[in-house]
Structure 1
Amino acid sequence: MEFAIDCPLPYWDTTLDFPMTDPTQSIVWSSKYFGNGYGAITTGPFANLPGQIQAIRNINNDGWLMSRQDIQMTLSKPSYNEFTEPSPCYNGNRNAYSMECLHDGTHVWLGGTSEPTTTAAFDPILYPFHAFVDKVFGLFRRRMLQEGNAVYPDKQITRHAPIGTEWYFITLFLA
């Protein structure tokens, strides 16, 4: 994406905060970066944004941040299907997790508005977080291309099929 638009995209690399004893004390939760991590966002550049929904956070109540080991494990997956598989996620055997699962765990870790898919986009932190997810996917895709595996998955995952429409986009057309 950065190459396509000739502009850098800032991303939040959760692997930097993962090893902290208390990642809620990371500088990203200061007024200099993403603002406060609890309650309505009242500090930082995203404070008091206008809109229909007031973004709130409840960081570190559940879920997880992605670690370097998580990223290495997902990058080693042998196929697009395994990389993106929307399988159930439990904070136990993380070696079995897909990128989709690890991504979901961070949504839950952020809590508040970011947790449900219906309101997640109201918290601006989701944009640098998804830029990081896209970066990891770019690394995976590069590896797949180098190995001659450039085929889009033929497995029909209804919500992620080629040219598929996510269920929450359908509601936009019905309104």
Structure 2
Amino acid sequence: MRNIDNTVSLPYWDSSLDNEMANPANTILFSKEFLGKGFGQVPTGPFANWATPIGPLTRNIGSDSRLFSKENVKAILTRCKTSEITRPTALQQYSLNVGMVALTFGSVDR
């Protein structure tokens, strides 16, 4: 990707580390220094005031989703095909979309 546009970066986040916190919603990741606010419209950080097809970027971390645990990651890594970890074909224990943060990120454009 950097060969096409060297200004684009895709950060890596091991959410299983934050999953170990007493309250994962308190992760530094959702601060103005990183991804911006984790609740309500996002007025700070690099994603401040982003527009989506359904309105401004809004987050509600920790309400109806959860972070990946080390066990989730291990289970997913036992699968070989994308269809084994995504809806509607994945078994629940391997699905990326069963209340996980991926569902939350994926719903931005719904």
TM-score (norm 1): 0.48
| Cα-to-partner distance string for 1:69-93 (whole Å, 9 max, x where unaligned) | 111111123x42763352489xxxx
Consecutive unaligned residues of structure 2, counting only runs of 5 or more, are none
Q: What residue is the counterpart of 2:73 in the other structure?
A: 71
Query: Structure 1 residue 97: deviation in Å?
Result: 2.0
Task: Note closer, same or farther for the CA distance 1:34–1:6 as it changes in structure 2 (3 Å cut).
Answer: closer
Q: Is the 8 A contact 1:88 1:101 kept in 2?
A: no
Q: Report the alpha carbon displacement of residue 44 of structure 1 after superposing the two structures with TM.
A: 1.4
Aligned-pair CA distance for 1:38: 0.8
Matching residue of 1:55: 57
Q: Normalized per residue, which structure has more helix?
A: 1
Q: Which has the larger radius of gyration?
A: 1
The offset of 1:55, in angstroms, is: 0.8
- Structure 1's unaligned 5+ residue stretches are 90-94, 122-167, 169-175
Corresponding letter in the other structure for 2:93: Y
When residues 31 and 71 of structure 1 are mapped into structure 2, their CA distance, relative to the original with a 3 A threshold, is same
Give the equivalent residue in structure 2 for 1:42.
43
Higher strand share: 2
Q: Any idea what the Cα deviations from partners look like across 1:5-30, whole Å, max 9, x if unmatched? A: 69663122211211111111110011
> Contact 1:75 / 1:83 at 8 angstroms: preserved in 2?
no
- Give the aligned residue type for 1:97: Q
Normalising by structure 2, we get a TM-score of 0.71
Contact 2:51 2:57 in 1 (8 A): no
Structure 2 residue 27 is matched with structure 1 residue 26: yes
Does residue 101 of structure 2 align to residue 100 of structure 1?
Answer: no
| Root mean square deviation, CA, Å | 3.3
Aligned length: 107
CA distance in 2, matches of 1:45, 1:81: 30
